[in-house]
A and B are shown apart, each in its own frame.
Chain A
Amino acid sequence: MWDASQPKATAPMIVEDWDRLTFRVNREAYRSEGIFAREREAIWSRHWLYLGHETEIANPNDFVVRTLAGRPLIFCRDSTGEVRAFLNSCPHRGTVLCRETQGSSKLFQCFYHAWTFRNTGDVAAIPDEQAYQAGEDFRAAMRLRAVPQLASHEGFVFVSFNPDVRPLLDHLGEAADYLTMIEEQHVGGMQTLPGVQLYSVRGNWKLAVENAMDGYHFSPTHNTFVGYLRESGYAVTDDDQYAYNLGNGHSLLVLTGHGGRISMIWEPRFGADERVRTQAHRAEMAERLGERRAHYVADESHILYVFPNLLLFDIEGLSIRQLEPVAAEQTDVRAWQLVPRDEEPAARALRMKTVVSFVGPGGLATPDDIEAYEAVQRGIDATAGDARSGLDYSDMSRGMLDEVKGVQGRSIDEGAMRGFWRRWVDAVGIPDGLHSSGERPASFLEGREMR
């Protein structure tokens, strides 16, 4: 719970000044274990969280285990084909039930006392069960504990530990259509592949969100990647690209000028065969989706953020990135490659090479992003507890004048980050978390006109 006696925490988390057009975030938000605990309760225990993709458990009885918001879970498809999520903990004494990372099984048996459960959650066997006087009631009470809410949209499976959470589509809002656009990219839809990047960064999870919604860093941080593209015949640009707040904390960055995408936007480094494939695929999309829809699906590169733990990098190829906060100063990251189900081997091979040339802890770009989160996390120690007013704050003011004018913010401004932080401060519910002075706009631009 929030400890109001902590003096540092009484300073506002966000300070907006509409006269000077400045927006500042209290650095305690990145380092305080008290705030981390509050986030666990107010965000991670109450909102929808991305769990995984249906294609990770393609067949009946498939399962994977995954820790989400600190809770060990089993994500599985039961014998009837229904997607389920259970707490990976034996109802008897709490032992981790499934100690494999993935596999296929109709039953989960706890090794400790050999209690056995079907993948529907029903108790299959309790050794020497007649010793329990309650009989069927006892058995019913010992079903596997399901995560209270589970829902799926376009193959993306979300869960919530809050039984009273609002419907998933209400939460996703405008982000839902961008997930649909991903599923529409290819006839036959999309699937995840094996080869999951599991890594961890020494930084707060919100630094990873900021970095993904920050087009401003691309040229300086990814200087060497920009140089690699230039040498291959592609000129990076930030012109005419925007950052959209999609509501509910979700946001979208359009980064078409940062590089091509396999089967969507051709670049010289992809080679002549891929050019032919891309042209044919673009024509097929226009036919299937209509030209206007095909334009948004194909001709733009996106980074989509779905509050709080899902990032979709529709750049280079398509990567799903899931954030799992471990502590205020550490975040586990998981990344899957999402690919067309039907893809010829040469195109698949090019895609796999291209995606990880940029994305992931061994790529030519993501390591510099990780360096940025970690360098921020270390650097902000410098101002911790500094009594001088306003020093222990990070600045995210870029492009605020557009917010006053009601003009769509550019990808190289910080409007998507401000949208995230405003949603965050509302969600964590810290009293007086937002301090606003001057004349605040009555509303902020939200969503995007695509019709």
Chain B
Amino acid sequence: MTLANSYGTTTVGARAVSRPEVEDFLYAEADILDAWRYDDWLALFEEGARYEIPTTDYRRWSPHESGSFVNDDWDLLRARVKRLKSRKAHAENPPSRTHRLVSNVRVFEESTDALRVTASFVVHRARDGQFDTYVGRYEHLLAVTDDGLRFRLRRSILGHEALPAGARLSFIL
């Protein structure tokens, strides 16, 4: 971790990335997910990327050595997207209506080609006459490419003690 070399800007390799660029990436992702545009969502990942949701008792352990809610490698992530696009993904057919708020975005240098980004999220989900709220923190690794930012690791860490009744993770959190 290094401090931004000028205010609100983090340098990765030869590229300076501003916090608004990272925020725009996260806001665009939120819109894509709220509109159920799953192919567009998958295009935000670099090949080989991972998607993780640790359990609510998470204490920084490795997903390879502990239970998780979601522990997707690239194969499973693509299978998840394929499933969500199917009419037979019963838990999301009809799809949940979601509304996402992203805030408290912070950007750190992770390596010569990647940023570590932390942010807070609130996701509201409406389905079946119920209205659920999911609160937590993103801890992503973003690859900095010539085409823009891409998820290398997309990780959603829930702030709940347990998932409340009905609040399953059948959609993308």
The distance from the CB of A106 to the nearest CB of chain B, in whole angstroms, is 22
Looking across the interface, which residue of chain B has its beta carbon closest to that of A378?
A: B128
- Counting contact residues on chain B (CB < 8 A from A), the size range is 35 or more
Interface string of B66-108 (1 = CB under 8 A from A): 1111111101100110110010111110000000000000000
Q: Which residue in B128, B162, B170 is a CB contact (below 8 Å) of A332?
A: B162
Looking across the interface, which residue of chain B has its beta carbon closest to that of A269?
A: B75
Asked if B64 and A361 sit within 8 Å, CB to CB, the answer is no
Q: A194-B59, A198-B55, A352-B68 are in contact. List 11 more A-B contacts (CB 8 A).
A: A194-B66, A200-B166, A200-B167, A228-B83, A352-B66, A353-B63, A361-B69, A362-B169, A367-B92, A372-B90, A374-B128
Asked if B71 and A330 sit within 8 Å, CB to CB, the answer is no
Across-interface contacts of A382 in B (CB, < 8 A): none
Asked if B65 and A371 sit within 8 Å, CB to CB, the answer is no
Q: Which residue in A195, A225, A357, A367 is a CB contact (below 8 Å) of B54?
A: A195
- B57 on interface, CB distance cutoff 8 Å: yes
Report Cα–Cα, A367/B165, bound state, in Å: 13
The distance from the CB of A194 to the nearest CB of chain B, in whole angstroms, is 5
> Which chain A residues numbered 207 to 225 have a C-beta less than 8 Å away from chain B?
221, 223-225
Residues of B near any A CB (own CB < 8 A): 53-59, 61, 63-73, 75-76, 79-80, 82-83, 86, 88-92, 128-130, 161-170
Across-interface contacts of B58 in A (CB, < 8 A): 195
Asked if A361 and B71 sit within 8 Å, CB to CB, the answer is no
The distance from the CB of A273 to the nearest CB of chain B, in whole angstroms, is 15
Asked if B89 and A352 sit within 8 Å, CB to CB, the answer is no
- A408 on interface, CB distance cutoff 8 Å: no
The answer to whether residues A345 and B69 also contact, given A196-B55, A224-B83 and a CB cut-off of 8 A, is no
- A87 on interface, CB distance cutoff 8 Å: no
The distance from the CB of B170 to the nearest CB of chain A, in whole angstroms, is 4
Report Cα–Cα, A352/B73, bound state, in Å: 11
Across-interface contacts of A202 in B (CB, < 8 A): 130, 165-166
Asked if B65 and A193 sit within 8 Å, CB to CB, the answer is yes
Asked if A349 and B90 sit within 8 Å, CB to CB, the answer is no
Report Cα–Cα, A370/B163, bound state, in Å: 13
The distance from the CB of B98 to the nearest CB of chain A, in whole angstroms, is 15
Asked if B168 and A367 sit within 8 Å, CB to CB, the answer is yes
Across-interface contacts of A415 in B (CB, < 8 A): none
Report Cα–Cα, A198/B68, bound state, in Å: 10
Asked if B71 and A356 sit within 8 Å, CB to CB, the answer is yes
The answer to whether residues A200 and B162 also contact, given A195-B58, A361-B168, A368-B91 and a CB cut-off of 8 A, is yes
- A201 on interface, CB distance cutoff 8 Å: yes
The distance from the CB of A295 to the nearest CB of chain B, in whole angstroms, is 29
Asked if A353 and B66 sit within 8 Å, CB to CB, the answer is no
Report Cα–Cα, A330/B167, bound state, in Å: 12
Across-interface contacts of B167 in A (CB, < 8 A): 199-200, 361
Across-interface contacts of A345 in B (CB, < 8 A): 64-65
Across-interface contacts of A357 in B (CB, < 8 A): 71-72, 76, 79
Across-interface contacts of A199 in B (CB, < 8 A): 162-163, 167-168
The distance from the CB of B52 to the nearest CB of chain A, in whole angstroms, is 10
Q: Which residue in A269, A337, A366 is a CB contact (below 8 Å) of B67?
A: A337
Asked if B61 and A224 sit within 8 Å, CB to CB, the answer is no
- A50 on interface, CB distance cutoff 8 Å: no
Looking across the interface, which residue of chain A has its beta carbon closest to that of B172?
A: A362
> Which chain A residues numbered 221 to 277 have a C-beta less than 8 Å away from chain B?
221, 223-225, 227-228, 269
Looking across the interface, which residue of chain A has its beta carbon closest to that of B166?
A: A202
Asked if A223 and B88 sit within 8 Å, CB to CB, the answer is yes
The answer to whether residues A361 and B73 also contact, given A194-B66, A367-B169 and a CB cut-off of 8 A, is no
Asked if B168 and A370 sit within 8 Å, CB to CB, the answer is yes
- Residue pairs across A and B with Cβ atoms less than 8 A apart, 30 shown, are A101-B57, A193-B67, A194-B66, A195-B55, A195-B57, A195-B58, A196-B67, A197-B67, A197-B69, A198-B55, A198-B56, A201-B166, A202-B130, A224-B86, A269-B75, A330-B165, A337-B66, A349-B64, A352-B63, A352-B68, A353-B73, A356-B68, A360-B68, A361-B69, A361-B163, A362-B68, A362-B170, A364-B76, A364-B79, A366-B168
Across-interface contacts of B55 in A (CB, < 8 A): 195-198
Report Cα–Cα, A225/B82, bound state, in Å: 10
- A348 on interface, CB distance cutoff 8 Å: yes
Asked if B83 and A364 sit within 8 Å, CB to CB, the answer is yes
The distance from the CB of B67 to the nearest CB of chain A, in whole angstroms, is 3
- A123 on interface, CB distance cutoff 8 Å: no
Nearest 4 interchain pairs by C-beta: A195-B67, A195-B66, A198-B162, A362-B69
Asked if B165 and A201 sit within 8 Å, CB to CB, the answer is yes
Asked if B65 and A348 sit within 8 Å, CB to CB, the answer is yes
